[in-house]
Amino acid sequence: MTANRGAAARLADRPVLTAVLGAACISCSAVLVTLAGVSPATSAAFRCALALPFLAVLAAAERRRLGPRLLKVRASAALAGLLLGVDLVLWNHAIVDVGAGVATVLANLQVLFVGVFAWVAMGERPDRRYLGVLPPVLAGVVLVSGLIGGHAAGLNPVAGIGFGFGTSAAYACFLLLLRTTAGTTRHVAGQLTDATAGALVGSVLLGLVFGGLQLDISWHALFWLLALAVLCQTGGWLLITSSLPKLPAAVSSLLLLLQPAGAMVLADVILRERPTLVQVGGALLVCLGVLAVARTAGRQRQRQPAPAQACTQNST
């Protein structure tokens, strides 16, 4: 136990390293979903269900250290988790339609949707630079999807774009709800536990309503889903969530690019999803646009503090 606390303390003192490790863990998500080979709703449900025991242990230790959280804060995190469940199911559909690497690039558009929703719902008018990057980012989405110049993987790039936008929109709503209702809690593991529980409910409901939920899966699939739950849903998210608030906005926004870049590399190496040059160019446009928006949002948060800094967090 002492050794574990020592390792945690060393990571806490190195937020950049912690965030890089977290991004590396999460970049494996789409590849692990593909290797599991189960339906989108099944993958999302098992990812959350298998992660909950690990998160619950960490949340209990955190509660002893920091004290309990308000019931309304926990309920808000669980409610936000329902939207996270929608995000995970839609993203799993996008993986099938455009491939693991490209789906991860599309999923990171949540930074754009956060700005749009905050403008519409909360009157937080975005910076002019935000509006200026929208056209090149949308052009990048078209290129990276494979609609122009062919595509390396996936069955349906048009549907993939739709699922990718839906993924980002659902995740943006999740972040905004968490930001506006969670307060300034330091309970990282507790928040993630409640959100993951909500995501489990959301993904199961989607699977029951629209079909595709399977409880009887192979040991092969269970192995990859357990890896997804431990490496990504637990380890990766905890590392990123705990490190980003300690970093300057410019640094944290740069780290956003590690996940889609890492996912495309892993999809190439492990799944043989080799993107075309046009897709690589589109991915660069999308990532640079996300970087510009994230840095602008970071400057705005420094001028006008918000309850939480979750809106720079990677998705999936």
pLDDT at 249: 59
Residue 50 banded pLDDT, cuts 50, 70, 90: very high
Domain annotation covers residue 10 = no
Q: Is the pLDDT of residue 1 over 60?
A: no
Distance between CA atoms of 295 and 287, rounded to whole angstroms? 12
pTM to 2 decimals? 0.83
Distance between CA atoms of 33 and 195, rounded to whole angstroms? 20
Residue 29 banded pLDDT, cuts 50, 70, 90: very high
CA atoms within 13 A on the CB side of 45: 20
Domain annotation covers residue 304 = yes
pLDDT digits (tens, 9 = 90+) for 86-118: 999 999 999 988 888 888 888 878 777 776 776
- 10 Å CB burial of residue 280 (0-12, 13-18, 19+) is middle
pLDDT digits (tens, 9 = 90+) for 61-93: 999 998 888 888 889 899 999 999 999 999 999
For residue 262, CA distances in Å to 62, 108, 181 come to 30, 13, 32
- Buried-state track 166-181, b at ≥16 Cβ within 10 A, e below 16: bbbbbbbbbbbbbbbb
Domain annotation covers residue 94 = yes
Domain annotation covers residue 78 = yes
Domain annotation covers residue 5 = no
Q: Are 278 and 143 in contact (CB under 8 A)?
A: yes
Q: Is the pLDDT of residue 294 over 90?
A: no
pLDDT digits (tens, 9 = 90+) for 228-281: 999 999 999 888 887 766 776 556 666 667 788 888 888 888 988 888 888 888
Residue type, 106: L
Domain annotation covers residue 283 = yes
Domain annotation covers residue 266 = yes
State how many domains the chain has: 1
Domain annotation covers residue 11 = no
Long-range contacts, 126-135 (Cβ 8 Å, 24+) = 126/296, 127/296, 127/299, 127/300, 129/292, 129/293, 129/296, 130/293, 130/296, 130/297, 133/289, 133/292, 133/293, 134/289
Structural domain of 236: 17-312
pLDDT at 113: 76
Distance between CA atoms of 240 and 15, rounded to whole angstroms? 9
Length of the chain measured in residues: 316
pLDDT at 8: 55
User: Would you give the DSSP letter of residue 246?
Assistant: G
Overall average pLDDT of the 19-25 stretch: 86
Q: Is the pLDDT of residue 306 over 50?
A: no
Distance between CA atoms of 191 and 232, rounded to whole angstroms? 16
